[in-house]
Amino acid sequence: MANDSIWQCTRYAIDLHHPKVMGIVNVTPDSFSDGGQHADTAAVLRQCEQLLREGAHILDLGAESSRPGAAPLPVQQELERLLPVLREAVKLGVPISIDSYKSEVMQAALDLGADIINDIWALRQPGAQGVVVRHGACGVCLMHMHRDPKTMQLQTMQGDAVRQVGVFLRDRALDLEAAGVQRQRLMLDPGIGFGKSVEQNLQLLARQPELLALGYPVLVGWSRKSTLGAVTGLDVRERLVPSVSAALLSVQRGAAVVRVHDVQATVAALKLLQAVEAAATIGEKD
């Protein structure tokens, strides 16, 4: 198996020959689409188990909302929300990703056995890069964000978002490699919705192969995003079909991982896509 088909994480070498579904688990009362539904540890763990039954390959735990306009959460409060869930989640037999940008939270999570750091700030906050470098084995997802969650939609990016996002992600990845993080640990995320206009988000999907040309696997999170609402006119709770469609389009354009709320529907759609692609391959051989 080629190294470029592996995402090396703390306890797992994740095979990227086939796309992986990352199930979103919000341990928050204020997430934009499902915050508050899973407010206590037992309920969150039931949600984790449900997502695994639906076919999730990775679970992404987040205890601070990054919705537009969200205010930062104190470190201690984030730890109090996250760590009781994480202590049990690491026993579930799948890679566990931590959606956080705070070095203290990253360190505590890695100490408990978390496999992936998924950082909307791409390790630009104080101490974050050092935690990942010193750990030496965790997977890392570097995301592009324009400005910060509180202000990112007040004034969106200007110009060619695909080019700017590509330059940013390339530079961050090279910085990490120069600091000693192995290439196989890195995953890039264009940050759909994080300070981009509707048109820019659609361009990032249409021109996604340009990001693949950087030479790193790409993770994409379109699930329930406002751009889908702008295109379809659907409320956030009604965006199942466009969310699954966007995930499929991302995979068709080379995404290695899709981060989703609706795991069962996404997994079923990907199974169909893979079956069609396999049938096409058989036809070519004949």
Print the SS3 string covering 76-94.
HHHHHHHHHHHHHHCCCCC
Q: How far apart are the first and last CA of the chain?
A: 26
Residue 39's pLDDT band, with cuts at 50, 70 and 90, is low
259 catalytic residue (yes or no): yes
pLDDT at 36: 47
pLDDT at 4: 66
In angstroms, what CA-CA distances link 86 with 95, 196, 227?
11, 32, 31
Model pTM score: 0.92
Judge whether residue 184 has pLDDT over 60.
yes
**pLDDT (tens digit per residue) in 57-95:** 999 999 998 777 777 899 999 999 999 999 999 999 999
- 225, 237, 253, 285: the catalytic one is 225
Distance CA 160, CA 165 (A): 9
pLDDT at 163: 98
| Total number of domains constituting the chain | 1
Q: Are strands 13-15 and 6-8 parallel, antiparallel or unpaired?
A: antiparallel
- 20, 102, 196, 259: the catalytic one is 259
Domain enclosing residue 59, as ranges: 3-285
Element (H, E) at 7: strand 6-8
**pLDDT (tens digit per residue) in 133-147:** 999 999 999 999 998
225 catalytic residue (yes or no): yes
Q: What is the CATH number of the domain that holds 91?
A: 3.20.20.20
